[in-house]
């Protein structure tokens, strides 16, 4: 039964693993798949038993892009009315950190989806790219903006204008990917990182994510204001008291998320 679902979610020990499950189409991001993904992210965002999300695909593809077959006969107004891309912003807006664990292709919307996450880990089989130019369009879910911020304007321009793909190692050298692992150890490494983040005070993690996000999305002045606001806000939490008292008392803190 669960195999028919386009997105599978498993929660354990504060970590939700969300797996794109459309392997025959290389996890092409159809509207139905995106609706399921957004519902899964929404559910995790409001579930206190989840502190960190891992978003992953299959061995051949994280996701090979938006579903070309579903878009081919579309029109500007149909795209507008269906909010086909606007809806994806819900992934970006998740308050909890999302780790993308990428094996195989992360192309077009797949690369953009990975870039909506907060940390990208890759296996040595991963390939990243924005090949939309080859089918007569351009990236539409943030590729021209996020890739440019992630790897710099000249590299991004070359990739977007040629549609060429880069390996996991190149993506790591460019700063898009944090670490590259052998394919068989990617799931455990993603979980190890998620567990480390999940052990940190959850509200501080969320405030930190929020502030770091602003660094890429606004001016330095506004970003510094947000950082200061979030820093001050954390003094309303039990975990701030616990963390600072534990430091002074030379013991390990116990964080409750309050």
At residue 134's C-alpha, the angle toward residues 129 and 137, to 5°, is 95
Interface segment toward ligand CAA; rule CB under 6 A; list 140-148, 172-180, 223-231, 239-247: 140-148
When asked if residue 147 is in the footprint of ligand CAA (CB under 6 A), the reply is no
Stretch 43-82 residues interacting with ligand CAA (CB under 6 A): 64-69
Q: DSSP of the chain, one letter per residue?
A: -GGG-SEEEEEETTEEEEEE--GGGTT-B-HHHHHHHHHHHHHHHT-TT-SEEEEE--SSEEE--B-HHHHTT--HHHHHHHTTTGGGHHHHT-SS-EEEEE-SEEETHHHHHHHHSSEEEEETT-EEE-GGGGGT----SSIIIIIHHHH-HHHHHHHHHH--EEEHHHHHHHTS-SEEE-GGGHHHHHHHHHHHHHTS-HHHHHHHHHHHHHHHHS-HHHHHHHHHHHHHHGGGSHHHHHHHHHHHTTS-------
Give the nearest distance from C-beta 57 to ligand CAA in angstroms.
12
Q: Is the dihedral of CA 57, 59, 61, 62 positive or negative?
A: positive
Site string for ligand CAA, 152-191 (x = CB under 6 A): ----------------------------------------
Residue with Cβ nearer ligand CAA (25 or 212): 25
Site string for ligand CAA, 90-109 (x = CB under 6 A): ---------------x-xxx
Tokens of 48: 């206190």
Residue with Cβ nearer ligand CAA (79 or 215): 79
- Which of these is catalytic: 61, 126, 132, 168? 132
Given candidates 36, 118, 132, 239, which one binds ligand CAA under the rule CB under 6 A?
Answer: 132
Nearest to 37 by CA among 55, 23, 25: 55
Site string for ligand CAA, 5-44 (x = CB under 6 A): --------------------xx-x----------------
Residue with Cβ nearer ligand CAA (8 or 133): 133
Give the nearest distance from C-beta 31 to ligand CAA in angstroms.
11
66 catalytic, yes or no? yes
Give the nearest distance from C-beta 153 to ligand CAA in angstroms.
18
Site string for ligand CAA, 189-228 (x = CB under 6 A): ----------------------------------------
- Which of these is catalytic: 63, 112, 171, 211? 112
C-alpha distances (whole Å) from 143 to each of 11, 65, 163, 201 are: 30, 11, 12, 32
Which residues are designated catalytic?
A: 66, 109, 112, 132
Q: Which residues bind ligand CAA (CB under 6 A)?
A: 25-26, 28, 64-69, 85, 105, 107-109, 112, 131-132, 135, 139-141, 143
């Amino acid at each position: 039964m669960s195999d028919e679902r386009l997105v599978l979610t498993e929660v354990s020990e504060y970590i939700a693993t969300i797996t794109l499950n459309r392997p025959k189409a290389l996890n092409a991001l159809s509207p139905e798949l995106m609706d399921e993904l957004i519902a899964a992210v929404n559910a995790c965002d409001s579930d206190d038993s989840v502190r960190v999300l891992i978003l992953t695909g299959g061995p051949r593809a994280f996701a090979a892009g938006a579903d070309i077959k579903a878009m081919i006969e579309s029109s500007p107004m149909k795209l507008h009315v269906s909010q086909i891309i606007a809806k994806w912003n819900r992934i970006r807006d998740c308050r909890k950190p999302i780790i993308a664990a990428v094996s195989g292709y992360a192309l077009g919307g797949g690369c953009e989806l990975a870039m909506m996450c907060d940390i990208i880990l890759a296996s040595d089989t991963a390939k990243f790219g924005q090949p939309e130019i080859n089918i007569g369009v351009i990236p539409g879910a943030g590729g021209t903006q996020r890739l440019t911020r992630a790897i710099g304007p000249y590299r991004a321009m070359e990739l977007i204008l040629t549609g060429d793909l880069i390996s996991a190692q190149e993506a790591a050298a460019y700063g898009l990917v944090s670490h590259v692992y052998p394919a068989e150890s990617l799931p455990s490494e993603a979980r190890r990182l998620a567990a480390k983040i999940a052990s940190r005070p959850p509200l501080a993690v969320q405030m930190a994510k929020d502030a770091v996000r602003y660094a890429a999305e606004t001016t330095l002045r506004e970003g510094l204001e947000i950082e200061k606001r979030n820093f001050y806000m954390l003094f309303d939490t039990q975990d701030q008291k616990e963390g600072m008292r534990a430091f002074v008392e030379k013991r390990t803190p116990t964080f409750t998320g309050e």
